[in-house]
Amino acid sequence: SRVSVIRAGSYSEELVKTAKTIASPGRGILAIDESNATCGKRLASIGLDNTEANRQAYRQLLLTTPGLGQYISGSILFEETLYQSTTDGKKMVDCLREQNIVPGIKVDKGLVPLPGSNNESWCQGLDGLASRSAEYYSQGARFAKWRTVVSIPCGPSALAVKEAAWGLARYAAISQDNGLVPIVEPEILLDGDHSIDTTLEVAEKVWAEVFYYLAENNVMFEGILLKPSMVTPGADHKEKASPETVAKYTLTMLKRRVPPAVPGIMFLSGGQSEMEATLNLHAMNQSPNPWHVSFSYARALQNSVLKTWQGRPENAEAGQKALLERAKANSMAQLGKYSADGESDDAKKGMFVKGYTY
Ligand code: 5MM
């Protein structure tokens, strides 16, 4: 019934439980769901070829990090990794489960130009999504991710926002129907010279529309997670915002748009430096929030690891240590107890690439 606390459906209770496990205190998500093209760019940055063996070696290093489960509650995988084993023949999914980390899966098929828009894009992947989701569930995935983007310099046009919101809502309903907690990710790109007030205005518009269509598609809010961008000025804006300002704007936006029924807000890092992403998260956790406010970082968790590893087996342990350090820093930030003392220069370097397309 529409008035029941939890909407009827075979997976409802499990969805709520999965979402709560992922949104558990002091933990967040390790996003390693780079498609092969994006993973290739990461590997190229340390001089490695984009082969299946190199992707396996890199993901194996990440997922077998001892102690990771203390700080990481979920990890988003690309399809290849979901079906992949380590070089010792152990399923990557089992490496996660052993550490009480929930395996997730990227289900979108990437971005393509949106005809009729202002050079904007839309996200592919709804065709066949129900059967793919059921198959991913049988492989051990318990949550899903769909990333679409909104560009401020390109408008955003009403058409692009509507398409982004509708696609996310259809995906979310299909995921829940197949036992996967959907991560709802409309990334508002950092590109542009706009002010933080402009970002706030666009973010409010986007999230209002996303929730309108999530409700229209009867998505159960207790069984979703959000992956928003933080509200910041555009990357080319003349002034940078302090973590306190980012936190104030971002929380204002979320409190205006996101019902407290949603269990977790898992931010993306969007090209911020590792330390900036951690400091901003820490600032957001200086007072109680209606939701678990945490991280789902890719670049802001992996950058130091890649630089330390360099593709050399003898550096694997040091690479894992680097991952654990970042995961711990963000865990502390989730608890509002992070201190930047002793952070390396590398952790302070931004990773934003103008006009970057995944
Ligand atoms: C890890 O990268 C994700 C997938 O990208 P592609 O499918 O294009 O290869 C990406 O969605 C990522 O999870 C989010 O953008 C968040 O990553 P950042 O680096 O912004 O924290």
| ipTM of model | 0.91
Q: What is the pLDDT of residues 312-354, one digit of tens each?
A: 999 999 999 999 999 999 999 999 999 988 777 776 676 666 7
More confident residue, 253 or 8: 253
For residue 282, pLDDT over 80 is answered with yes
Ligand 1 centroid – CA 306 distance (Å): 16
Percentage of the chain lying above the pLDDT 90 cut = 91
227 counts as catalytic: yes
Q: Is the CB of 108 under 6 A from ligand 1?
A: no
Which is the catalytic residue, given 185, 209, 274, 325?
185
Do residues 182 and 217 touch, judged by C-beta distance below 8 A? Answer: no
Q: What is the pLDDT of residues 141-166, one digit of tens each?
A: 999 999 999 999 998 999 999 999 99
Q: What CA–CA distance (Å, rounded) separates 276 from 37?
A: 26
**What local confidence, expressed as pLDDT, does residue 204 receive?**
98
358 — pLDDT class (breaks 50, 70, 90): low
354 counts as catalytic: no
For residue 182, pLDDT over 90 is answered with yes
Which is the catalytic residue, given 120, 227, 276, 325?
227
DSSP designation for 313: G
Say what the pTM is: 0.94
Classify strands 264-267 and 292-297 as parallel, antiparallel or unpaired: parallel
**What local confidence, expressed as pLDDT, does residue 355 receive?**
72
Q: What CA–CA distance (Å, rounded) separates 343 from 127?
A: 45
Mutate to test the pocket of ligand 1, among 143, 189, 268, 351 (most ligand atoms within 8 A of CB): 268
**Tokens 């498609």 -> residue:** 35
Q: Is the CB of 79 under 6 A from ligand 1?
A: no
Q: Is the CB of 358 under 6 A from ligand 1?
A: yes
Q: What CA–CA distance (Å, rounded) separates 272 from 300?
A: 7
**What local confidence, expressed as pLDDT, does residue 21 receive?**
98
Query: Which residues, including other chains, have CB under 8 Å from residue 199's CB and lie 6 or more apart?
Result: 152, 188, 231, 232, 233, 234, 249
Closest C-alpha to 307, from 296, 295, 318, 294: 318
Do residues 170 and 126 touch, judged by C-beta distance below 8 A? Answer: yes
66 — pLDDT class (breaks 50, 70, 90): very high
Ligand 1 centroid – CA 95 distance (Å): 22
Average pLDDT across the chain, whole number: 95
SS percent in the chain: helix, strand, coil, step 5: 45, 15, 40
